């Protein structure tokens, strides 16, 4: 073998490898385009019913919107001009109490899951995952057995309890994920300065995880705002303006359910208008959570 044969073989081998790499890259690009096309097709198929429902709700509900619709109390069937002011106030009270219960407990539980380890942590995490899959109507029946039968009547407090339990697993899992995403160097730096573990968690970890915490909280609130089944077993609704949480109270999902099954056109129109309003509220909460999280993330960077 001469000295000129070895380089020639190396060049031939290199050319073969380059050809194989080029062919493999071309094949991967084709597969990638096929995969993206299939994903886009399925996305389009999934968007068709969503867009159809939204368009139909907007078409039916926008005609009900007016100043009186958002500022007046409901009127009896057959009398036009009623509003949903009592339902708006009722939903604010019910969901506000539910959020006040679920947010602190959920964030504390998420902090415990993120910074602890052991069989108890695994049990709590498993229970949270199971709770997130429980149908909302089951939570309504549970709240009915625990509170409504004990108190002796329906109340907004019972509805807030059911909605709060519904929000809890979402907040817990989102809080755990947000806290785990905080760099460990921040925790180590705080501990190295002599701070207690609780102080580091409260003043360093939670502020750093604030964008993720806000996102989880707003998504949980958006989930709870539109739930109807728990309220049917606990709040039952009211045609009057009520602010006492220990009594039955109107709520937006109950208006959609109650008026939507009536035979009167004016009540059906009110149901469609309320449904459109609920969609707008959920959309604002969902989009707002991501915008706030993105803004806070940029500020912290």
**Half-sphere exposure at residue 140, Cβ-oriented, CA atoms within 13 angstroms:** 16
Output the pLDDT for position 236.
86
Q: Are 56 and 274 in contact (CB under 8 A)?
A: no
Q: How far is CA 248 from CA 78, 153, 156, 173, 275, in A?
A: 24, 8, 6, 32, 21
Name the fold adopted by 65-300. Answer: MetI-like fold (1.10.3720)
Residues 82-97 have pLDDT tens digits of 889 999 999 999 999 9
Output the pLDDT for position 211.
82
Output the pLDDT for position 100.
93
**What's the mean pLDDT when you consider all of the chain?**
85
Distance CA 161, CA 146 (A): 10
Does residue 167 register a pLDDT over 90? Answer: yes
Output the pLDDT for position 298.
66
Q: Are 85 and 73 in contact (CB under 8 A)?
A: yes
Of 220 and 199, more confident:
220
Output the pLDDT for position 242.
85
State residue 201 phi and psi, 5-degree precision.
Answer: -65, -40
Segment 198-215 shows an average pLDDT of 82
* Model confidence band, residue 7 (pLDDT cutoffs 50, 70, 90): low
Q: How far is CA 59 from CA 81, 101, 133, 159, in A?
A: 19, 37, 33, 31
Report if pTM > 0.75: yes
Output the pLDDT for position 8.
66
Output the pLDDT for position 301.
57
């Amino acid at each position: 073998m001469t000295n000129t044969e070895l380089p020639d073989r190396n060049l031939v081998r290199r050319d073969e490898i380059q050809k194989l790499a080029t062919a493999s890259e071309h094949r991967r690009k084709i597969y990638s385009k096929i995969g993206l096309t299939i994903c886009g097709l399925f996305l389009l198929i999934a968007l068709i019913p969503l867009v159809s429902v939204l368009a139909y709700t907007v078409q039916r509900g926008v005609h009900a919107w007016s100043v009186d619709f958002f500022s007046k109390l409901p009127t009896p069937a057959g009398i036009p001009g009623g509003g949903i002011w009592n339902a708006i106030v009722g939903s604010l009270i019910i969901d506000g109490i539910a959020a006040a219960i679920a947010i602190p407990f959920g964030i504390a539980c998420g902090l415990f899951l993120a910074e602890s380890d052991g069989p108890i942590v695994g049990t709590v995490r498993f229970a949270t995952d199971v709770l997130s899959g429980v149908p909302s109507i089951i939570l309504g029946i549970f709240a009915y057995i625990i509170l409504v039968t004990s108190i002796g009547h329906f109340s907004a407090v019972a509805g807030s309890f059911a909605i709060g339990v519904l929000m809890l697993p979402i907040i817990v899992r989102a809080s755990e994920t947000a806290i785990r995403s905080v760099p460990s160097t921040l925790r180590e730096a705080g501990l190295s300065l002599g701070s207690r573990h609780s102080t580091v968690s409260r003043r360093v970890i939670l502020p750093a995880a604030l964008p993720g915490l806000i996102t989880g909280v707003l998504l949980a609130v958006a989930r709870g705002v539109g739930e109807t089944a728990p309220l049917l077993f606990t709040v039952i609704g009211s045609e009057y303006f009520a602010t006492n949480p220990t009594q039955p109270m109107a709520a937006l999902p109950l208006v959609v359910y109650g008026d939507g099954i009536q035979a009167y056109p004016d009540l059906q129109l009110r149901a469609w208008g309320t449904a459109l309003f609920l969609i707008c509220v959920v959309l604002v909460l969902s989009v707002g959570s991501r915008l706030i999280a993105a803004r806070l993330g940029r500020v912290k960077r």
